Amino acid sequence: MQELTYIIRPIKDEDIPQVIEIDHEAFSGEWLFRTSISYRRDIKNPMACYIVACVQEEHEPHQQGTQKISWFKRVFSHNYTTLATRERSNLHNEEYIVGFVGSWIMLYEAHIIAIAVRNNYRRMGIGERLLISIIESAAQLNAKIVTLEVRASNKAAQALYKKYGFQVTGRRPRYYSDNGEDAILMSTDTITSAPFQAKLQQLKEAHARRWKVPSLLQ
């Protein structure tokens, strides 16, 4: 597997077409049907937060012996490098968006509305890195807890969320319109508490070691 660089950063207007592509690909059965206009409105809303993962430099996916590409960018006072792949045919601009996460802040709750990674970039730790970033962002926005819904059948996602302190708080029967599947409701404890922050930092450092992301403290 070739080693490339990706960064995590806030969404920009020019990212929206690619985010919609990922939205469509990841949620094909119950796509959010969010338009470019709605995304543009949301990213200007101070109570909404969207974060993207993106790579640079055109590169063929799943090729061995490719050149390592290194680059630096400051995002949320951190830099991130990991393993990733590229799809040359889908290159839209200088930065290729490979995943995104979005949340809304409601009082002291940050609700994750979507987290998705392109099919060819899954199982590389990108979704986990996005989850870390949205929790960090929620704390910066003075949220006390983070909540989400997940399909009852999506055991892998549920395991990841539990790893980061989410607990099952309820169930919404027949929540998903495509097949009537139930949604599992999950929530964290107080994300600004010392125990939660200590565990988050531990998990963040473990993620960095596993995916060869340097641990940078600034």
Whole-angstrom distance, CA of residue 25 vs CA of residue 45: 25
3-state secondary structure of 162: helix
Enclosing H/E stretch for 170: strand 167-172
Whole-angstrom distance, CA of residue 21 vs CA of residue 30: 14
Whole-angstrom distance, CA of residue 58 vs CA of residue 61: 10
Residue of 161, 164, 175, 205 marked active site = 161
Q: State the pairing for strand pair 145-151/109-117.
A: parallel
CB count, 10 Å around CB of 145?
A: 19
Residue of 95, 136, 149, 181 marked active site = 149
Catalytic residue check, 95: no
In sequence order, the β-bridge partners of residue 149 are: 185
H helix intervals, the chain:
16-26, 36-43, 126-140, 155-163, 194-210
Catalytic residue check, 25: no
The catalytic residues are 149, 161
